[in-house]
Structure 1
Amino acid sequence: MAIAVRRTSWDPFTALLRQVDGDFDAIVRRAFTGAVPARTGFVPAADVARDGADVVVTLELPGVAAEDVTVEVADHRLRVTGQRREEQATDKDGVLIREIRTGSFRREFALPEHVTAEAIEAEQADGILRIRVREVAAPKPQARKIEVRSSAPRAVEADTPAQGE
């Protein structure tokens, strides 16, 4: 009976590429979405879509209870924080595999200066958090007529000597 032995070796170049790839992904995510990924836990997926003058931010939060989510506005940023709690589980055979990430999360989105907390509504159902930011499009200033004043012609004084001087 022959036993097959599989050899695996550690390749430092591949490990470095994986690290750089993860760092690059985080930089791109921050640059294009303005989102700040969580340092621990998980980063919920988000969609940002325009709906007329409003913007709707949708986050996937399966397994996160509404009471474990906070939506707030601070420093012209929409901040969503929360926590997915770990469920206690035991296995009779002593083997447990967990692939569902738990822990805290934080996502931030830039807001225009004129948007206040009063313009924001949030609701969560079936693992989806929807945040509507009303009137994100800045109001266009209305045309204003500027009065044109007429000025009387001014007499030009000459510095030329009078006749006979």
Structure 2
Amino acid sequence: MALVRFNQPSSVFPYRNLLNELLNDFNTSVGQDYRSNIPAVNVHESETEYTLEVAAPGQNKENFNINLDGRVLTISSEQKEEKKEENGKWTRKEFNYSSFKRSFTLPENVNAENIEAKYENGVLVVVVPKAEEVKPKSIAVK
């Protein structure tokens, strides 16, 4: 059996390729704009902890919210900025608003009480220590 490529005659739908190109360009540009608001996150695991590094330059540490609900760690940030410039007869106002929210499901072996975070040089570092392993214990029957 042979695989045969099917080509739709362009005379039936003369604008099909143009429409596909426009839609692909639109989806690509919308997707890039959407992704640009979500910071990249590096996750490292060592023997004693998990480290999340969130690339968030230009933020203030006061803008970050870090919550733990069960095993779901959520990191979010909301930043609002307003600039107002007045000069005689005219006034110029500029508004800037940016936010993001990322959630991570943590493994069962974490010590939730000792999670720490710091923001330095445009990178939010969240350290999630691992819990001590509970070793099985043999109990003698009396």
Superposition TM-score, scaled by structure 2 size: 0.62
For the structure 1 residues 51 and 13, does the alpha-carbon distance in structure 2 shift closer, same or farther, using more than 3 Å as the test?
same
- What value does the CA root-mean-square deviation take over the aligned residues? 3.7
Q: Give 1:144's aligned residue.
A: 137
**Structure 1 residues without counterparts, runs of 5 or longer:** 1-9, 26-36, 91-100, 150-165
- CA–CA separation in structure 1 for the residues paired with 2:38 and 2:84: 23
* Residue 13 of structure 1 pairs with residue 38 of structure 2: no
Secondary structure at the counterpart of residue 83 of structure 1: strand
1:148 deviates by: 8.8
**Structure 2 residues without counterparts, runs of 5 or longer:** 1-16, 86-95
1:126 aligned to which of 116, 121, 129: 121
For the structure 1 residues 87 and 54, does the alpha-carbon distance in structure 2 shift closer, same or farther, using more than 3 Å as the test?
same
Aligned residue type for 1:121: E
1:58 aligned to which of 50, 53, 57: 53
Equivalent pairs, count: 115
Contact 2:79 2:98 in 1 (8 A): yes
Secondary structure at the counterpart of residue 109 of structure 1: strand
For the structure 1 residues 113 and 52, does the alpha-carbon distance in structure 2 shift closer, same or farther, using more than 3 Å as the test?
closer
Larger relative strand fraction = 2
* Residue 74 of structure 1 pairs with residue 69 of structure 2: yes
1:11 deviates by: 2.9
1:21 deviates by: 9.5
Contact 2:111 2:129 in 1 (8 A): no
- CA–CA separation in structure 2 for the residues paired with 1:122 and 1:76: 17
